[in-house]
Amino acid sequence: MNLENSRELAENKLIVLYIIDKLNIAISNLQLTKIVLENRFMNYFSLQQFLNELCDHHHLSINEADNTCFYTITDHGKQTLDYFINLIPLGLKSRIDEMASSIRKNIKNETLITSDYEPGSGNEFIVSCNVNEDNFPLIDLKITVGAKNDARLVCENWKKYSQEIYSEIIEILLRKRDSKEES
């Protein structure tokens, strides 16, 4: 491997560290991949290789939550980034700096609303829908549906319309009801 390729590999790994450091929140592989590919920082396969190598060398830590892996930069990763930050082109750092707050906001919004399903007994599926605000659960709903397609549809609707659904549930639960005696 020649010196130019080594420098490019190091630069790309530093870019990954820089993005994660600037966002200052745990980021999923999918979220990071979207950022990197949309901005053409590097290709998908290189990114995945760099993530694995950065984790193997303890520059990044990986944690799993809700069946999703999230990356954060370690102290060792921050030290390495601080030491070699000048290898990242200034224009690229500026682009990342400018995008960081809007990306962080989008990621926080994505992680506030979650939905997932898992097989239950028989042909049933258990769907979990959540809305969290500042690590406080506003709603944590589990329902059972009879088909996988129904579970997918519930998840899709929850991700798109969770605010409206949450409001409708609260409205229904707070509605005063007449207590009629059954005879």
Mean pLDDT in residue range 172-180: 82
Q: How far apart are CA 79 and CA 85, in angstroms?
A: 10
Domains of the chain: 3-107 (1.10.10.10), 120-174 (no CATH)
Residue labelled with tokens 């609303």: 113
What pLDDT is recorded for position 129?
Answer: 93
- Amino acid identity, position 143: I
Q: Is the pLDDT score of 131 beyond 90?
A: no
pLDDT digits (tens, 9 = 90+) for 59-115: 999 987 656 788 999 999 999 999 999 999 999 999 999 999 888 887 776 667 888
Q: Enter the tokens of residue 163.
A: 């605010």
- Whole-model pTM? 0.63
Half-sphere exposure of 150 (CA within 13 A, CB side): 11
pLDDT of residue 82: 95
With helix as H, strand as E and coil as C, how does the chain read?
A: CCHHHHHHHHHHHHHHHHHHHHHCCCEEHHHHHHHHHHCCCCCHHHHHHHHHHHHHCCCEEEEEECCEEEEEECHHHHHHHHHHHHHCCHHHHHHHHHHHHHHHHHHHHHHHEEEEEEECCCCCEEEEEEEEECCEEEEEEEEEECCHHHHHHHHHHHHHHHHHHHHHHHHHHHCCCCCCCCC
Structure tokens at 50: 């760099």
Where does the pLDDT of residue 183 fall: very low under 50, low under 70, confident under 90, or very high at 90 and above?
very low
